[in-house]
């Protein structure tokens, strides 16, 4: 049995950790029509996908994509931030309407969720030091040390495809992996190109000899979606129709480029806890 299968099996047996019930959020949802206001859970300090800028306004690729969806269905977005387990509990118990899924492991049937199609398309890359012979396959990295965000689907991908020949180093904050990469404590970080653009190129670390190479045939999903309670079919239908009418799904780097100065304001982040 593979690691991922073990992981899924353990989740089935033990269930998801549910945190304490927030009556205030529940009361607000009961009083607010779902078609006029939506409370959406986002993770803070997940640059460039979701974070709060220096003015304490929600920003990021996922925030921008979800805000556009809300506008298309004539709803107002209210973003709620907490740790992922708490947000998952809140959407499961209908305290919030939705949850932005960046790269966390969710099992829709077990977690009582329905997922939209991706809001943007990530390009999976290995960040590594510049070389004439880029490494992307398990064979290329044999005996090397690879990093990824701890507990993410990218971390699980490394465990599935690369673990037998390499050493893995998970990070609670992926920016710490960039520091290790610069100091040669790790050989490569698995992430997506939007992260590389925002956290390496835009802060001039590419001048330190870091680059990104696309990983071919990296089938990792679900990434960059919006989760709603599985019983909220009406909202899911509205969201899916809005995604369909928007035309071709943009890449996450395209959405990032459109944000421009908004992202640069998030270089110094402060945690903000908001509740609906």
Give all domains of the chain, ordered by start, each with its CATH number: 15-120+223-264 (3.40.190.10), 124-214 (3.40.190.10)
Q: Is the pLDDT of residue 56 over 90?
A: no
Cα gap 113→95, rounded to integer Å: 14
Cα gap 34→48, rounded to integer Å: 28
Least confident of 69-73, 75-79, 137-141: 137-141
Cα gap 263→25, rounded to integer Å: 29
Overall average pLDDT of the 2-29 stretch: 43
| Cα dihedral across residues 244, 248, 250, 255: positive or negative | negative
Cα gap 50→252, rounded to integer Å: 12
Q: How confident is the model at residue 78 (pLDDT cuts 50, 70, 90)?
A: very high
pLDDT of residue 116: 97
Q: Is the pLDDT of residue 275 over 90?
A: no
pLDDT of residue 210: 94
At 61 the three-state DSSP class reads helix
Overall average pLDDT of the 186-193 stretch: 96
Cα gap 67→71, rounded to integer Å: 6
Question: The tokens 């979701």 sit on which residue?
Answer: 50
Cα gap 148→146, rounded to integer Å: 7
Whole-number average pLDDT of the chain: 84
Its pTM stands at: 0.82
> What pLDDT, in 10s, does the model give residues 234-256?
999 999 999 999 999 999 999 99
Overall average pLDDT of the 73-100 stretch: 95
Percent of the chain, pLDDT > 70? 82
Q: How confident is the model at residue 205 (pLDDT cuts 50, 70, 90)?
A: confident
| Cα dihedral across residues 48, 50, 52, 57: positive or negative | positive
Q: Is the pLDDT of residue 264 over 90?
A: no
Tokens of 79: 């973003």
Return the H-helix or E-strand segment holding 146: strand 145-149
Overall average pLDDT of the 168-195 stretch: 95
Q: Where is pLDDT greater, at 138 or 86?
A: 86
Overall average pLDDT of the 57-67 stretch: 95
Cα gap 58→96, rounded to integer Å: 16
Rg for the chain (alpha carbons), in Å? 19
pLDDT of residue 265: 52
Tokens of 130: 């510049």
> What pLDDT, in 10s, does the model give residues 112-130?
999 999 999 999 999 999 8
Cα gap 81→110, rounded to integer Å: 23
Overall average pLDDT of the 259-265 stretch: 62
pLDDT of residue 140: 87
> What are the Cα distances from residue 269, in Å, to 37, 48, 263, 274, 276?
27, 11, 11, 15, 21
Q: Is the pLDDT of residue 14 over 70?
A: no
């Amino acid at each position: 049995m593979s690691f991922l299968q073990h992981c899924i099996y353990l989740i089935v047996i033990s269930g998801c950790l549910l945190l304490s019930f927030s009556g205030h959020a529940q009361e607000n949802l009961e009083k607010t029509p779902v078609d006029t206001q939506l409370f959406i859970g986002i993770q803070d300090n997940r640059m460039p996908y979701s974070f709060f800028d220096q003015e304490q306004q929600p920003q990021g690729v996922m925030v921008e994509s979800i805000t556009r969806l809300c506008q298309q269905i004539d709803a107002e977005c209210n973003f709620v931030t907490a740790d992922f387990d708490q947000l998952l509990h809140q959407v499961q118990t209908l305290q919030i309407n939705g949850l932005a899924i960046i790269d966390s492991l969710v099992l829709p049937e077990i977690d009582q969720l329905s997922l939209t199609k991706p809001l943007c398309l990530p390009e999976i890359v290995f960040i590594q030091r510049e070389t004439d012979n880029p490494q992307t396959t398990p064979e290329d990295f044999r005996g090397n040390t690879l990093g990824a965000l701890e507990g993410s689907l990218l971390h699980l991908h490394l465990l599935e495809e690369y673990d037998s020949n390499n050493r893995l180093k998970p990070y609670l904050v992926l920016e710490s992996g960039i520091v290790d990469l610069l100091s040669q404590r790790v050989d490569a970080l698995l992430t997506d190109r939007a992260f590389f653009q925002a956290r390496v190129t835009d802060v001039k670390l590419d001048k330190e000899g870091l680059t990104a190479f696309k990983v071919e045939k990296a089938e990792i999903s679900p990434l960059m979606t919006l989760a709603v309670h599985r019983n909220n079919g009406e909202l899911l239908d509205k969201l899916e129709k809005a995604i369909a009418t928007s035309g071709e799904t943009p890449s996450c780097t395209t959405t990032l480029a459109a944000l421009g100065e908004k992202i640069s304001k998030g270089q110094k982040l402060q945690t903000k806890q908001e509740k609906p």
